[in-house]
Amino acid sequence: MAQVLLEAGLMFAVLALAGTLARRVGQSVIPFYVIAGILMSPYVLGTLDIGPIAGLTVADYALAAEEHITLLAELGIVFLLFFLGLEFSLDRLLASKEKIGKAGTLDLLVNLPLGVVVGLALGWSLLEAFVLGGIVYISSSAVITKSLIDLGWIANAEAEPMLGTLVYEDLFIAFYLAVVSAVLLGGGEFAEIAVNVGTAMVFLLVLVGAVYLGGEYFEQFLDVDSQELFVLRAVAITVFVAGFALAIGVSEAVAAFFIGMGFSSTDHLHDLEHRLIPLRDVFAAVFFFWIGLNTDPAVFPAVAGIIAVLVVVTTPSKLLSGFLSGRIYGLDDRRNVRVGCGMVTRGEFSLIIAAIASSAVGRGPILTEVVPAVAVGYVLVMSILGTMLMQYSGYLERFVVESEPSTAAAD
Amino acid sequence: MTVYESDLPGVGKKFEVEIGDDERLVIVIHNTGKREVFHRVGEADSEKLFDLSDRLARQVGSILEGAHFQPVKSDTTETMLDGDSLLEWVNVAEGSDIVGKTLDELDFRNETGASVVSIQRDDTTESNPGPETVIQAGDTLIILGPREACREVEGLAAEVDEPESAIESGVIDELADDDTDA
């Protein structure tokens, strides 16, 4: 008991420190949480042989991804996706379906196949390459949105194609996760895979149907005159359905996404956002930390080449697809450069895909060891690179402004 | 004036208000309740002016609207309903002509064009007062009608023989008029 509480306290203290540090240097918190996890893991802190502090050797302070931390991390995935669903507006997607559809499809067609090609070129199987494709395709909603707010771009025209593309990616990733987790966590034969994917789709359809047709019931479910009961009920339904989904072999993340989407049209939207954000922030931080705990930095040298290739190949591809997305929205080229810079950041979803891959036991070391290590290294680089590109987009903007004097004059 | 509204998924909502000369006020309302206010000229970047918490934004909003409910001593409090109609709070002065008369006798609606929708007396509010209601000094009449009509009732409710008060209410009228012009 004392040990568990001490470990939890230690973990949160380190997370708070990492978050403070990230803020101090003006970077996204995600890489800092992951690095904090790596540093506290048995692979780093656990190997230090330094004398006792307060009765325990330094190595005794190392944290492992034990069950209680894994549970909190799992809740992090669930709440991350729940909020994604809550913010995901089908109405919005339909309202500007043409622009979002074009920009989102362009982004998908440029970036997903690129990851698959790199995977195949490495001699990986199609499935492994497809997982890599997902990891390099999906931009980070959390980091990009936060940077948009921090830089004040949120009030500018470039925010629209960026948020629109993120909405498209979010919907795509929900189906991607459903398929990938059904394939990875289920059996190996094609027929079995088809059954798993089918089960997942049926379950999700039932869920979506229940949430939409029983909208009134959901409305009443949260209609309680007590903050405490409101939060408890919201957490109960989200975690229970997510847990049930996982138990029958469907992605818990996707189940949480659809529950969030169901609540997005009720009157409780605002209260849910207001009251559950602290829960999401705490558990999501633990999730990134947990990713770090599972990462042995000793594997980085072996995958550094792959990470380097991915960074070199997928940074320009997002810049290009973002730039063209801006054109679809009819923006000037200076803003299009910003859209490109903004989409470079990868983050939480790439790590969620990696987490699913790492739990695909019996599927070979590429999925369970190489892909997660590549994803962690890749996200560490891309989240910092992406944030920097946004901060210093002015340097890149100059290239297009010089070649287009008319744009410069307009500003 | 046109207001453009758009959703910002994961953030909140954005409102762009045209304020003339190719300028826009951009207001971002975050899901957390925070408001950020930006100013943008033409196609240039938006420049952030300030941000407010939910609570503060509501207070500033009611001040901008002209209907602040803080206990600020003022002769008139009014709320614009549309282009010309006002909902106005009028204090009845001690020496006013209308003190001691019933609403029926005064016949505000025909005389001025404004109707008395409710009367606040001490701590009670009588909504929809009947024609036999007698107006007393110190009452607050809540009246509804075109700006001109409201001004007229204000004049009637003011003290008749006190020049200072007349000047005061004149100044307030002037301010109110300036408001309309702007």
Q: Measured between CB atoms, which of A87, A141, A155 is closest to B26? A: A155
**Are B126 and B133 spatial neighbours (Cβ–Cβ below 8 Å)?**
yes
pLDDT, residue B180, reads 42
**Can you give the pLDDT at residue A308?**
96
Instruction: Give the pLDDT of residue B100.
Output: 85
Residue B26 neighbours by CB under 8 Å, 6+ apart: A155, B14, B15, B16, B17, B37, B38, B39, B40, B46
Answer whether B9 sits within 8 Å of A88, measured CB to CB: yes
Cβ–Cβ contact A80 with B under 8 A: no
Task: Please check whether residue B46 touches A, CB under 8 A.
Answer: yes
Q: Is the pLDDT of residue A182 over 80?
A: yes
Evaluate if residue B46 carries a pLDDT over 60: yes
pLDDT of residue B175: 43
pLDDT tens-digit profile of A18-59?
Answer: 999 998 998 888 899 999 999 999 888 887 777 677 667 777
Confidence at B127, pLDDT banded by 50, 70, 90: confident
**Partners of residue B42 in chain A, C-beta under 8 Å:** 410
Tell me which of A238 and B63 has the higher pLDDT.
A238
**Range from A234-238, A239-243, B127-131 carrying the lowest mean pLDDT:** B127-131
Name every chain A residue with its beta carbon within 8 A of the beta carbon of B7.
89, 92
Residue-level pLDDT at B77: 59
The pTM assigned to this predicted structure is 0.74
Query: Is pLDDT above 90 for A325?
Result: yes
Task: Write the CB contacts of A58 (distance below 8 Å, at least 6 apart in sequence).
Answer: A45, A48, A49, A50, A51
CB-based contact, A332 to chain B, within 8 Å: yes
- The answer to whether residues B58 and B70 touch, using CB atoms and an 8 Å cutoff, is no
Q: What percent of chain A has pLDDT over 90?
A: 49
A96 chain-B contacts, CB cut-off 8 A = none
pLDDT-derived band at A15, boundaries 50, 70, 90: very high
The answer to whether A408 faces chain B, any CB pair under 8 Å, is: no
* Residues forming a β-bridge with B78: B88
pLDDT band at A406 (very low <50, low <70, confident <90, very high): very low
Chain A hits for B14, CB-CB cut-off 8 Å, are 154-155, 159
Distance CA A53, CA A61 (A): 9
Element (H or E) spanning B37, and its range? strand B35-41
B35 touches chain A (CB under 8 A): no
- Among B4, B46, B53, most A C-beta atoms within 10 A, so best to mutate, is B46
Residue of A nearest to B39 (CA): A155
> Is B32's CB within 8 Å of A92's CB?
no
The rounded mean pLDDT for chain B is 77
Cβ neighbours of residue A223 closer than 8 Å, sequence gap 6 or more: A268
- pLDDT of residue A405 exceeding 60, the answer is no
What pLDDT shows up at residue B162? 47
Identify all chain A residues contacting B36, using CB atoms and an 8 Å cutoff: 149, 152, 154-155
| Interface contact flag, A155 B48, Cβ < 8 Å | yes
The one-letter amino acid at B107: D
Of A83, A155, A411, the CB nearest to B38: A155
Q: Is the pLDDT of residue B31 over 90?
A: no
Q: State percent of chain A over pLDDT 70.
A: 95
pLDDT digits (tens, 9 = 90+) for B72-122: 444 555 666 666 777 888 888 888 888 888 888 888 778 888 888 888 887
Mean pLDDT lowest among A274-288, A292-306, B136-150: B136-150
- Cβ atoms B117, B127 nearer than 8 A: yes
Interface of A with B in 178-237 (CB under 8 A): none
**Lowest-pLDDT range of A135-144, A363-372, B56-65:** B56-65
Q: B72-96 as b/e, with b when 16 or more CB fall inside 10 Å?
A: eeebbbbebeeeebbbbbbbbbeeb
What are the tens digits of pLDDT across the range B137-146?
Answer: 888 888 888 8
Partner residue facing B48 (CB), from A88, A152, A274:
A152
Cβ-based contacts of B10 with chain A (< 8 Å): 83, 87, 141-142, 145, 163, 166
ipTM of the complex: 0.71
